[in-house]
């Protein structure tokens, strides 16, 4: 039987190889480069196909597909969000993604995206803060110390220049875990007993809690002038973290309004509540922070273009470093019209 051609094989980045790739480059370098890659694609925003992600909701969580294309490549991510999974020893979020050539439809990469989603989410947050946070911000409150927290801390250190993180979670074990993982990172880490204590002296606050519910992680009296809020935990219908009054005082920046109005903090607001699209700030079509006293809010829910950017980034990096394996994924008959014949011949006895 004729062996498959090289086009039948698709590079696959496993979790093991993703971790090897990140360590070979360096976590902070990966976060910086991902932030730059995502920002670059935001400057090409108009080229992309855009749609809110497709969600299948249940009582325990959500399963989503996130597709997009820039006309040359097509990418999608499968991702779930199940907050109660941790009680069973499972991840809250798991994901994988695919990148394909538009011209042929052939996939060029299949990748784990559980680790990669954590990296790209943090890189996007830090990229947004690079445009929106007060200049010279050095202290960040990090409320919600689950699986995403350390990635956020390291991204803000690498991209924004944060020097101290103040941690709080209703689960003290999560805060201890986060503090332990950030030891030796170069960040000053302070574990706090309340969200109010975590806010003391912070110029940036990141909220990344997991429960699928309308919650009030930050109240209006906790937010002083000049704060930048990076709200990334509210990312599906029926899930928010901020009191509505905070939104009324803030200049709100979003990725893709048709999706964020369904999933983000602004699901609490009227459908015509004004927001600014982040890509417009990056391209100079809209203003970001305009004064030292302004409260800026990045209502980040995660968008397919960010996953596309991440897939393209690791595709290029993995092929150069060899941190991948080849999967025999595409049927490759000698005659492309004779798929059945290929199947039939595969069952024939081997010739002596």
Sheet containing strand 251-254, strands side by side: 188-191, 164-168, 139-143, 204-207, 228-231, 296-299, 251-254, 276-277
**Separation between Cα atoms, residue 233 and residue 209, nearest integer Å:** 5
**Separation between Cα atoms, residue 232 and residue 241, nearest integer Å:** 9
Beta carbons of 265 and 240 less than 8 angstroms apart: yes
Neighbours of 25 (CB within 10 A): 17
Is 211 tagged catalytic?
no
**Separation between Cα atoms, residue 269 and residue 248, nearest integer Å:** 9
User: Hey, which residues does 240 pair with through a beta bridge?
Assistant: 214
Cα pseudo-dihedral 254, 257, 259, 261, rounded to 10? 90
Backbone torsions φ then ψ of 128, nearest 5 degrees: -65, -45
* Six token digits for residue 78: 């499968």
Catalytic position from the list 41, 70, 169, 235: 235
Buried b (16+ CB within 10 A) or exposed e, 136-158: ebebbbbbbbbbbbbbbbbbbbb
Contacts of 242 (CB under 8 A, 6+ apart): 207, 216, 217, 218, 229, 231, 234, 265, 297
* Six token digits for residue 29: 């370098």
**Separation between Cα atoms, residue 238 and residue 232, nearest integer Å:** 14
SS3 257: helix
Contacts of 104 (CB under 8 A, 6+ apart): none
Q: Which residues are the active-site residues? A: 235
């Amino acid at each position: 039987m004729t062996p498959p051609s090289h086009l039948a094989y698709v590079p696959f980045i496993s979790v093991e190889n993703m971790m090897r790739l990140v360590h070979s480059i360096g976590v902070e370098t990966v976060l910086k480069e991902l932030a730059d890659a995502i920002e670059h694609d935001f400057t090409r925003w108009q080229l992309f196909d855009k749609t809110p992600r497709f969600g299948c909701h249940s009582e325990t969580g959500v399963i989503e597909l996130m597709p997009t294309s820039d006309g040359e490549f097509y990418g999608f991510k499968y991702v779930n969000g199940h907050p109660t999974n941790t009680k069973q020893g499972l991840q809250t979020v798991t994901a994988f993604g695919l990148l394909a050539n538009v011209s042929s439809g052939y996939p060029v990469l299949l990748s784990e995206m559980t680790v990669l989603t954590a990296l790209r989410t943090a890189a996007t947050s830090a990229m947004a803060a690079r445009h929106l946070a007060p200049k010279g911000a050095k202290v960040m409150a990090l409320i919600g110390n689950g699986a995403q927290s350390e990635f956020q801390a390291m991204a803000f250190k690498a991209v924004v220049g944060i020097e101290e993180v103040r941690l709080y979670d209703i689960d003290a074990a999560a805060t201890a875990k986060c503090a332990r993982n950030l030891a030796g990172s170069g960040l000053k880490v302070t574990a706090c007993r309340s969200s109010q204590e975590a806010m003391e002296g912070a110029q940036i606050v990141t909220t990344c809690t997991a429960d699928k519910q309308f919650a009030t992680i930050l109240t209006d009296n906790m937010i002083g002038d000049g704060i930048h809020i990076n709200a990334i935990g509210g990312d599906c219908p029926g899930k928010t973290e901020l009191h509505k009054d905070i939104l009324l005082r803030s200049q709100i920046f979003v990725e893709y309004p048709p999706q964020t109005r369904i999933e983000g903090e602004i699901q609490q607001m009227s459908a015509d509540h004004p927001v600014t699209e982040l890509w417009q700030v990056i391209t100079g079509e809209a203003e970001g922070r305009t004064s030292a006293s302004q409260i800026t809010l990045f209502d980040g829910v995660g968008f397919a273009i960010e996953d596309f950017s991440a897939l393209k980034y690791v595709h290029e990096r993995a092929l150069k470093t060899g941190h991948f394996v080849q999967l025999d994924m595409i049927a490759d008959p000698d005659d492309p019209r004779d798929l059945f014949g290929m199947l039939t011949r595969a069952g024939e006895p081997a010739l002596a």
